[in-house]
Chain A
Amino acid sequence: MSHAEGNPEPLAALVEKLSAAAPKVEVDDLAVLAKMHGWTEAVCHVTHATGPAHCVPVWEAARLLTQQLESLILGDAEDASTMLTLVIEGVKALNQAVAAMPPDSQMEIVPSAAVDAQTDVSEADESASAAIATVGTEQEPAVVDPVSTERSEPTVTPAEAPTPDEPPYVSEPLVLNKKEEEFLKAFVEEAREHIESIEAALLEVERDAQNEARIDDLFRPFHTIKGMAGFLNLRDVNCLTHEAETLLDQCRKGKRKVSAGLIDTTFDVVDILRAQIDSLAAYLAEPVGDTVPQPPVSGMIGKLRQINAFRMEPQGRIPAPGEAGQSLGDTLVAQGATSREAIDAALAAQETTAAGRKVGEILIESGAATARQVDQALRSQGADAAEAAAAARSGPVGDQSVRIETAKLDALVDMVGELVIAQTQVSAHAVTNDDPKLTKNVSQVTKIVRDVQEVAMAMRMVPIGPTFQKMARLVRDVSRKAGKQVNLAISGEDTELDKNVIQQIGDPLVHMVRNAVDHGIETPEARLAAGKPEIGVVHLAASHQGGNIAIEISDDGKGLDPAVLFRKGVEKGLVEANADLSDQEIFSLIFAPGFSTAAKVTDISGRGVGMDVVKRNIEQLRGRVDIRSEKGKGSSFTICLPLTLAIIDGMVVRVGTERFIIQTITIEQSLRPVAKNITTVQHRGEVLNNRGRLIPLIQLGQLFGLTDRIDPCSAMVVIAHCEGRLIGLVVEQLIGQQQVVIKTLGERFERLRGISGAAILGDGRVGLILEMGGLYAAYNDFRVPRRRSGVAAETSDRDVPALGHTDASAAPTSPGVMQATREMELIPA
């Protein structure tokens, strides 16, 4: 990545680069020499432009060095190797001169934007520049796409070069090159990341328009996408990003103010860009037809061109698509080879003379620039494109990472899981063998295996930050539409969780954040009237809590009103009008399908789809949602999730000969009850009184047909959370807590209730993982068999309302329990 796209480099960095490059450079290594030339010129510019007296020695040293390098590059030097020695000496001198400067003055000196342009083009990728054909007077950018043969690069000769009043952009059918499929896939992935960082930067720029570093952050991903798209012949994307980049470049160079309109336009560009990338991704996943469907871009490109043209300097022209970076003229001017006027003259001459003449030719003929200079400028142009292409191939430079398919990672984690199990078996064997050497070796292996497991798990972990960033965009859009002012605060964005979890948490988060903004936060007037600050705050926080991750979405809005929710629930027939519900139970009503409290349906939310889907998604991730809310103060939704989908912390319990795993996250406590706390109804419907809470006891053994009734007082009861209530599972023995790798039981067992999967236990046998919701439903059917249809079935349905106001949670003498008891008497013993 060229530094010119980043922050301007201080003098010290430039000199450091020079010092690093000087000892290694060869006479014929033009690419490095060109780089060094760029750096020395930058030094010249910095010191000259800033001008204070203490800079002069540095400037002089750099000037001399520039001339020496120039003569080397241009081949003017009579004795190249002597000249090289001089150059190396010159770098040392420059170093000394810089060292002699007052220490703090070094910090003040940073290159201006104009220097950026020079270094941008001269700091090129070495290998790429070697690949570029030596061109004499060709004006086209050197084509750096050796693979593509399907379509020629949309090179543009100056005669057809777009000018501000050019014909509108016309999108062409996009045919992909099969050979480039891998590149394209990588491009899609990277482009998506870049789009995310663009959005993040945009939101920051919107908040703080003066933040130049942020504008740079905005510019850079556009530039990268453009480069990659050019390399891959994605003309639409290339052209679109190019125009956006041109626009942003003007801001970056201070030629244009960052306005709200500009930010909106850029957001629009991002949306179109995303649509383009998505459509490309869809086509890559499943090619339909010969050409890739491309969402329209020409309108936006036209708009951008107009915007750009309006502010363009008269001599500037918009580089054509496929032309990376600057036009030849700009490059030459920037390198100081010729003047702006000469270029303009050449351009004018080009238009009057026969078509096909290159600006470079004209310039050389008229003596405005030497062939060498034109050549060099062309090289650096090509190098710029080559650099972008290299970035497309290898990802961001300096980012020490490798992309791996998730499937491979999953397979690795699976195998490590097997390894851990096999290891456990071996070590169990070693313990009984009483061989000290074996025991020692085995414990060594155990340690290594555990480390391997940790590393394997860590590989799948990614920070949640980018997911939160996406919400920032959402909050912005939704609050605007709803006419509200909302700030998004984010904390804990470094919290890492499994990639699969992150992928699946996106949709629920979108719903909840949208709800927080649309339903939670009030309008500015209402907020002021309620004595709150005008701007509402939605807070997204992530944190680790034990082996789980908690994601909290809170707002300081109007909060949930239990009375309103209850009325709505009654209206929708979800609860009885005379039901006595706790606030918690009333809050959980919003998860019922079709429940919406919004008075009117907006195009943002309020259609009553969402929260039930949210709940389902989160339960699929084996997580749960807790709601806290205070009327007038705000609401807070906490999503509690396991760190990974592949491994859970489980409690292994035994029932009869079988062992089951209960996810630790769902367990509240395990206890051996005393007889007086158990209320037995006809030896069947047992209820445990746990600190005043009445908890229905589920006889796992009976429910699964494994054992007869087990006396809870001589066994164990595991109290677990189940859809907002507690249930007690009667098990014979708690074997212990362990991490298990989850295995699916396959689609053949998909409909199994109460069992969500399986795991291989320490002895190699399979243990089943219990799922509380299904278990509770099976338990209800078990007590009140549906076989007895008609009255009984209906009654049982009504006894177990969606809300979870169960008969068992009421007093033992309540009609519900009596009803159940009566049902049970009817079952043949």
Chain B
Amino acid sequence: MEAIVEAKSGPLAPAPPDHVRSVPGGKFLTFSLDREEFGVQILKVVEIIGVLDITIVPHTQEFVRGVINLRGKVIPVIDLRAKFGMPAMAYNDQTCIIVVDVGTLMGIIVDTVQEVHDIDGEDIEPPPSLGQTAGAGFLLGMGKVKDDVKILLDIDRVLNGDELVELPEQVSRSEAARA
């Protein structure tokens, strides 16, 4: 998770991992987290909603905020800040849940939603090589919009990579810590 944060300052290496060699351009929804700007493919986005009442689901990973009722569907909500190991921030009226379709519907909590950018394939740099660390797989590439650089996320990998439920050892550890 720290890898992402590191990625912004780290040197850009020319050889991308195989699975991200070519990133087709297209529309990206951009949003901010902490001081960074990220983008997800618009095709993955289902809708953007404000932060609703979130029901806590016990014994889940730290970054799982809980579940919400999306018009009758119960979907998990992930706090991307927590997922990327960024400092937590109280939710405000800018905070949004972006509902994405990654096979199942999931919500991601972001600081603010910005806009939709058309980014050509040639404006997308391969992600920096970070060796075999887990964070590398999360990235599609670095998208250049004018002078800005947006970190384009492979949202499927971000959300589907990890177990949401705590493992039994973790349960007892965290319970013990809370006790």
Binding site for B on A (CB under 8 A): 414-415, 417-418, 421, 657-658, 702-706, 743-755, 758, 760, 764-768, 778, 781-782, 785-787, 827-829
B56 at the interface (CB under 8 A from A): yes
A764 contacts across to B, CB distance below 8 A: 53, 69
B174 contacts across to A, CB distance below 8 A: 705
Instruction: Report whether B76 and A748 are in contact in the complex, using a CB–CB cutoff of 8 Å.
Output: yes
B173 contacts across to A, CB distance below 8 A: 785, 787
B60 at the interface (CB under 8 A from A): yes
Instruction: Report whether B163 and A751 are in contact in the complex, using a CB–CB cutoff of 8 Å.
Output: yes
B72 contacts across to A, CB distance below 8 A: 414-415, 417-418, 421, 743, 760
B55 at the interface (CB under 8 A from A): yes
Instruction: Report whether B67 and A705 are in contact in the complex, using a CB–CB cutoff of 8 Å.
Output: no
* 30 A-B residue pairs with CB within 8 Å: A414-B72, A417-B72, A702-B175, A704-B58, A705-B58, A705-B174, A706-B58, A745-B67, A745-B74, A746-B76, A746-B104, A748-B76, A751-B165, A752-B57, A752-B59, A752-B60, A753-B59, A755-B58, A758-B55, A764-B53, A766-B68, A766-B69, A766-B74, A768-B58, A785-B172, A785-B173, A785-B175, A786-B172, A787-B173, A827-B179
A764 to B172, CA, bound (A): 32
A514 to B67, CA, bound (A): 44
A749 contacts across to B, CB distance below 8 A: 57, 60, 76, 164-165
Q: Identify the closest chain B residue to A705 (Cβ).
A: B178
Instruction: Report whether A743 and B73 are in contact in the complex, using a CB–CB cutoff of 8 Å.
Output: yes
For window 102-153 of B, CB contacts with A under 8 Å fall at 104, 106
Partner of A702 from B74, B165, B172, B179 at Cβ < 8 Å: B179
B176 at the interface (CB under 8 A from A): yes
Nearest 9 interchain pairs by C-beta: A704-B58, A785-B172, A766-B55, A418-B72, A751-B165, A743-B74, A758-B74, A765-B53, A748-B164
Q: Identify the closest chain B residue to A748 (Cβ).
A: B164
Instruction: Report whether B57 and A768 are in contact in the complex, using a CB–CB cutoff of 8 Å.
Output: yes
Instruction: Report whether B163 and A787 are in contact in the complex, using a CB–CB cutoff of 8 Å.
Output: no
Q: Identify the closest chain B residue to A742 (Cβ).
A: B74
B86 at the interface (CB under 8 A from A): no
B contact patch SS: mixed
B1 at the interface (CB under 8 A from A): no
Instruction: Report whether A785 and B178 are in contact in the complex, using a CB–CB cutoff of 8 Å.
Output: no
Instruction: Report whether B165 and A765 are in contact in the complex, using a CB–CB cutoff of 8 Å.
Output: no
Instruction: Report whether A782 and B172 are in contact in the complex, using a CB–CB cutoff of 8 Å.
Output: yes
In the complex, given contacts A418-B71, A758-B74, A787-B173, what are 13 additional A-B residue pairs having Cβ atoms less than 8 angstroms apart? A702-B175, A702-B178, A703-B175, A704-B56, A705-B178, A706-B58, A745-B67, A746-B76, A746-B104, A749-B60, A749-B76, A787-B169, A787-B172
B171 at the interface (CB under 8 A from A): yes
Known: A746-B74, A786-B168. A765 touches B59 (CB 8 A): no
A741 to B39, CA, bound (A): 36
Partner of B69 from A657, A702, A745, A765 at Cβ < 8 Å: A765
Give the interface centre of A755, A767, A785 by most chain B CB atoms within 10 Å. Answer: A785
Partner of B58 from A415, A703, A748, A760 at Cβ < 8 Å: A703
Partner of B175 from A415, A751, A752, A782 at Cβ < 8 Å: A782
A752 contacts across to B, CB distance below 8 A: 57, 59-60, 165
Q: Identify the closest chain B residue to A760 (Cβ).
A: B69
B57 contacts across to A, CB distance below 8 A: 745, 749, 752, 755, 768
A225 CB to closest chain B CB, in angstroms?
42
B177 contacts across to A, CB distance below 8 A: 828
A743 to B75, CA, bound (A): 10
A829 contacts across to B, CB distance below 8 A: 179
B90 CB to closest chain A CB, in angstroms?
16
Q: Identify the closest chain B residue to A414 (Cβ).
A: B72
A746 contacts across to B, CB distance below 8 A: 74-76, 104
B5 CB to closest chain A CB, in angstroms?
25
A678 to B53, CA, bound (A): 36
Instruction: Report whether A781 and B172 are in contact in the complex, using a CB–CB cutoff of 8 Å.
Output: yes
A780 CB to closest chain B CB, in angstroms?
10
A517 CB to closest chain B CB, in angstroms?
41
A538 CB to closest chain B CB, in angstroms?
42
Q: Identify the closest chain B residue to A658 (Cβ).
A: B56
A827 contacts across to B, CB distance below 8 A: 176, 179
B163 contacts across to A, CB distance below 8 A: 751
A782 contacts across to B, CB distance below 8 A: 171-172, 175
A829 to B57, CA, bound (A): 24
A196 to B21, CA, bound (A): 59
Q: Identify the closest chain A residue to B105 (Cβ).
A: A746
B159 CB to closest chain A CB, in angstroms?
9
B60 contacts across to A, CB distance below 8 A: 749, 752
Q: Identify the closest chain A residue to B167 (Cβ).
A: A751
A764 to B55, CA, bound (A): 11
A752 to B74, CA, bound (A): 15
For window 60-112 of B, CB contacts with A under 8 Å fall at 60, 66-69, 71-76, 104, 106
A777 CB to closest chain B CB, in angstroms?
9
A406 to B58, CA, bound (A): 33
A787 to B164, CA, bound (A): 20
A765 contacts across to B, CB distance below 8 A: 53, 55, 69
Instruction: Report whether B67 and A766 are in contact in the complex, using a CB–CB cutoff of 8 Å.
Output: yes
B73 contacts across to A, CB distance below 8 A: 743
A767 contacts across to B, CB distance below 8 A: 55
Q: Identify the closest chain B residue to A656 (Cβ).
A: B56
A787 contacts across to B, CB distance below 8 A: 169, 172-173, 176
B72 CB to closest chain A CB, in angstroms?
4
A760 to B69, CA, bound (A): 7
A296 CB to closest chain B CB, in angstroms?
43
A778 to B171, CA, bound (A): 9
B107 CB to closest chain A CB, in angstroms?
12
A753 to B177, CA, bound (A): 19
A414 to B58, CA, bound (A): 25
Instruction: Report whether B76 and A768 are in contact in the complex, using a CB–CB cutoff of 8 Å.
Output: no
B66 contacts across to A, CB distance below 8 A: 766
A420 CB to closest chain B CB, in angstroms?
11
Instruction: Report whether B175 and A786 are in contact in the complex, using a CB–CB cutoff of 8 Å.
Output: no
B172 contacts across to A, CB distance below 8 A: 781-782, 785-787
A485 CB to closest chain B CB, in angstroms?
51
B75 CB to closest chain A CB, in angstroms?
8
B68 contacts across to A, CB distance below 8 A: 766
Partner of A706 from B56, B104, B176, B179 at Cβ < 8 Å: B56
A477 CB to closest chain B CB, in angstroms?
44
A658 contacts across to B, CB distance below 8 A: 55-56
Partner of A758 from B67, B106, B165 at Cβ < 8 Å: B67
Partner of A828 from B71, B104, B164, B176 at Cβ < 8 Å: B176
A414 to B68, CA, bound (A): 17
A295 CB to closest chain B CB, in angstroms?
38
A748 contacts across to B, CB distance below 8 A: 76, 104, 106, 164-165
Q: Identify the closest chain A residue to B68 (Cβ).
A: A766
Q: Identify the closest chain B residue to A750 (Cβ).
A: B165
A751 to B61, CA, bound (A): 12
A767 to B54, CA, bound (A): 10
Q: Identify the closest chain A residue to B71 (Cβ).
A: A418
A753 to B57, CA, bound (A): 11
A730 CB to closest chain B CB, in angstroms?
15
B58 contacts across to A, CB distance below 8 A: 703-706, 754-755, 768
Known: A747-B104, A754-B58. A781 touches B171 (CB 8 A): yes
Give the interface centre of A657, A746, A750 by most chain B CB atoms within 10 Å. Answer: A746
A705 contacts across to B, CB distance below 8 A: 58, 174-175, 178
A765 to B173, CA, bound (A): 29
Partner of A778 from B59, B69, B104, B176 at Cβ < 8 Å: B59
B60 CB to closest chain A CB, in angstroms?
7
B124 CB to closest chain A CB, in angstroms?
29
B56 contacts across to A, CB distance below 8 A: 657-658, 704, 706
A745 to B164, CA, bound (A): 12
Instruction: Report whether A785 and B104 are in contact in the complex, using a CB–CB cutoff of 8 Å.
Output: no
A1 CB to closest chain B CB, in angstroms?
43
A267 to B57, CA, bound (A): 53
Instruction: Report whether B59 and A704 are in contact in the complex, using a CB–CB cutoff of 8 Å.
Output: yes
